[in-house]
Amino acid sequence: MKILVPVKRVLDAYVRPRVKADGTGVELTNVKMSINPFCEIAVEQAIRFKEAGVVEEIVAASCGTAASQETLRTALAMGADRAILVEDANDLQPLAIAKLLKALVEREGIELVLMGKQAIDSDNNQTGQMLAALLGWPQATFASKIDIADGKMTAVREIDGGLESLAMPLPAVVTVDLRLNEPRYATLPSIMKAKKKPIDKLAASDLGVDTTPRVTTLAVSEPPPREAGKKVADVAELIAKLKDEAKVI
């Protein structure tokens, strides 16, 4: 079985985002970037499947600028076999990415797509669902446990009422949640080996996909500052403040 794991280059989770002075977006110049945490979990799960003998090859893929090679190298250092970079200068949005991934799935003969449920920069949570729809494949979202046996996959996903178990045939698309696993740290020898692993480079036009943005960002602004909390002496004073000052009751 061959698995495709899409990975995204995002602002590091421990860096405080800053809005650009002109309000056109988030400042990404001279700030630390890293692999999206949910994508990292997907890579780890693919590696565990390979270690268990379920998977033969792990292909990591990223869509974006040449800087995304750094993210692919991280996936390769963790244990992915090879990587594909689809270079495009446009602001890639979920539908465009889903179309690019669909083209890669068909090109590579992929049987399972493992991907993060969302990226921590845009928080769209759309690409996996769109990809499954375009491919006509079954899907499992927010998976916290995945098992593969006899050409079938079972997934446990978190829902409002608890846990839901799904069973489906392969090929399929799975988006993973935080509680699926704990990603490993890449060792120094693995990082050195990753530098020699191949990264195939393609353009969006090579895959016949139009990546023109369909949504335009009008403005980005900082959230209003939070007011300091207040201490109250008793419940009566709390209720009075909620009623007279906050006006929520």
Q: Would you kindly state where each structural domain of the chain is located, as residue ranges?
A: 2-244
Mean pLDDT on 80-97 = 91
Does residue 235 surpass a pLDDT of 90? Answer: yes
pLDDT cut 90: percent of the chain above it? 60
Task: Look at residue 91 in the predicted model and tell me its pLDDT.
Answer: 86
Is 237 strand, coil or helix?
helix
Residues 170-189 pLDDT 10s:
999 999 999 899 998 888 99
Does residue 216 surpass a pLDDT of 90? Answer: no
DSSP tag of 207: G
> Mean pLDDT for the chain?
91
Nearest of 82, 89, 78, 88 to residue 37 by alpha carbon: 78
This prediction's pTM: 0.85
Residues 50-65 pLDDT 10s:
999 999 999 999 999 9
Residue 110 — pLDDT band, cuts 50, 70, 90?
very high
3-state secondary structure 14-71: CCCCCECCCCCCECCCCCCEEECHHHHHHHHHHHHHHHCCCCCEEEEEEEECHHHHHH
Does residue 221 surpass a pLDDT of 90? Answer: no
Task: Look at residue 247 in the predicted model and tell me its pLDDT.
Answer: 84
Span 2-244 CATH architecture: 3-Layer(aba) Sandwich (3.40)
Residue 89 — pLDDT band, cuts 50, 70, 90?
confident
Task: Look at residue 158 in the predicted model and tell me its pLDDT.
Answer: 86
Task: Look at residue 229 in the predicted model and tell me its pLDDT.
Answer: 84
Does residue 23 surpass a pLDDT of 90? Answer: no
Cα separation of 61 and 46, whole Å? Answer: 13
Q: Which tokens in the block code for residue 18?
A: 């800053």
Name residues whose C-beta falls within 8 Å of residue 122's C-beta, 6 or more positions apart in sequence: none
Looking at per-residue pLDDT, the higher value among 59 and 158 belongs to 59
Cα separation of 223 and 20, whole Å? Answer: 13
